[in-house]
Structure 1
């Protein structure tokens, strides 16, 4: 059994060496047509790494020939199929620029944008690439409104926007999670929630974030200096009312109502203190004025 296993490994090794040797022979061919035909065969067999090497070597020689168009188009697809999406984007774009009248032109423009979609990073990473992909895909729709790729392109844009939405949501949650006793983070949490609600008005996350806005504003009011507390408690009250108006059956209402009750009582208490302080100051000013007037009469 062990000998059979070793024999099979030896055969596999020998075949690999033979295949490598044959491929190197093809690379050294001086007959461009045979080399080109071999590249096409590798491509159609799905051996994109080998096809790509041959096309890369052939393209400078094929400039101006009938084979240049297909070689350039297939090279771009080789990059795509091997996961080299940045180069695929570059080569598809170059193909479209070089062969504007090609039957593959529209497909190349689409694949250029699609390669950017494939290269879009996970939502927790920098999303510059995602934004670029969305712009390229949107440009494709704008320029080819009747394209057979239109519906698929629209779906890709929605998917990428969902990724940006998730990124923005996680950013809000991060501010909220790190906001305890941190006024700057509490302010940022409220600002980011406002931004999120503006940018993604139909998001499924908005109900939760509407509650978190109440919570963050309440925490901010409690953490801030006394002179700013009433204004911030009033904002918490407003955000609670917004939550009730938009989500009257929300699961977050019970929690939010407790914050509302405390905010309302605190705002009312501070208002009374301010009124008493103002009345005391007005009385003091009035007494001072009377004393001044009496001194003048004397």
Structure 2
């Protein structure tokens, strides 16, 4: 009995699916714009965004300048977003905002457009062009719609992207510091420049403590391997880097390593002072 009911159910399901597919194909090939609009909206409301998107694509040019045009263009953009075609979603949301700047949906379109570029943002180690674009879009949304229901989510996404950009900049500086350990002075000089830029450009970064410590490493390595004529000045730079780390992070997790480095700096300074005294 159960097996028979199951077979009947499966057969009914197949017939329903076949009928729906047949209806979709029939309307898709039809020239009746109203029929396409009705079916597209039905699919959209049912969450079948792939079919809805295909139909809205076909009819959107027909509704330009018409009362339903605003609705069709928003549904088209959002259907792209829902099927995860974020490139087209971002583009279509931008078109919607330009076409209907006074629409009640402008705030939502601005948010979803920004979120589309957020979704396109790659991992930190890759080119961050889309990250930059997403940040600009998110910041514009945050500044324009501070009372929006999407405000909190936009802030979270903007912070995540900011941290991603910071990490890329930090990792570049970190790589120079690693290369500097091979006793090639140019790498240490590049590391110090990159770290200075990072610290200046990202004062509130979660990587600030790490960057300040890496500067202690890089300035110490540069100083210890410099010629006698440049050594004192560069040792003083290392002490300054150490003092900055301890000033901003007195309980730093790098205390032991930093103290070991500054002990080397102090010993070298004492040695230079002794040599200078002998020559007087």
TM-score range, shorter chain: 0.7 to 0.9
Does residue 61 (structure 1) correspond to residue 59 (structure 2)? The answer is no
- Which residue in 2 is equivalent to 1:38? 39
- Which residue in 2 is equivalent to 1:206? 208
TM-score (norm 1): 0.81
1:256 aligned to 251, 258, 263, which one? 258
Q: Distance in 1 between matches of 2:106 and 2:34?
A: 24
Does residue 94 (structure 1) correspond to residue 59 (structure 2)? The answer is no
CA offsets 1:34-65 (integer angstroms, 9 cap, x no match): 11101111111221111111111111222222
- Which residue in 2 is equivalent to 1:288? none
- Which residue in 1 is equivalent to 2:157? 156
- Which residue in 2 is equivalent to 1:3? none
Deviation at 1:215, TM superposition (A): 1.4
CA offsets 1:228-254 (integer angstroms, 9 cap, x no match): 222211211221222223323323222
Deviation at 1:33, TM superposition (A): 1.0
1:227 aligned to 219, 226, 229, which one? 229
Q: Which moved more, 1:256-265 or 1:221-230?
A: 221-230
Deviation at 1:272, TM superposition (A): 4.1
- Runs of at least 5 residues in structure 2 that lack an aligned partner in the other structure: 1-6
Deviation at 1:200, TM superposition (A): 2.6
How many residue pairs get aligned? The number is 272
- Which residue in 2 is equivalent to 1:291? none
**Native 8 Å contact 1:234 1:264 kept in 2:** no
Q: CA distance change for structure 1 residues 230 and 15 in 2, over 3 Å: closer, same or farther?
A: farther
Q: CA distance change for structure 1 residues 17 and 124 in 2, over 3 Å: closer, same or farther?
A: farther
CA offsets 1:91-115 (integer angstroms, 9 cap, x no match): 1111111112222122222222222
- Which residue in 2 is equivalent to 1:189? 191
CA-based RMSD of the aligned residues comes to 2.6
**Native 8 Å contact 2:177 2:217 kept in 1:** no
**Native 8 Å contact 1:80 1:115 kept in 2:** yes
Q: Which moved more, 1:63-72 or 1:76-85?
A: 63-72
CA offsets 1:145-204 (integer angstroms, 9 cap, x no match): 333333332222222112112222222222222222222221222222222222332333
Deviation at 1:210, TM superposition (A): 2.2
Q: CA distance change for structure 1 residues 103 and 256 in 2, over 3 Å: closer, same or farther?
A: closer
Deviation at 1:13, TM superposition (A): 8.8
TM-score (norm 2): 0.86
Does residue 26 (structure 1) correspond to residue 19 (structure 2)? The answer is no
Q: Distance in 1 between matches of 2:147 and 2:48?
A: 34
Which of the two has higher C-alpha Rg?
A: 1
- Which residue in 2 is equivalent to 1:103? 104
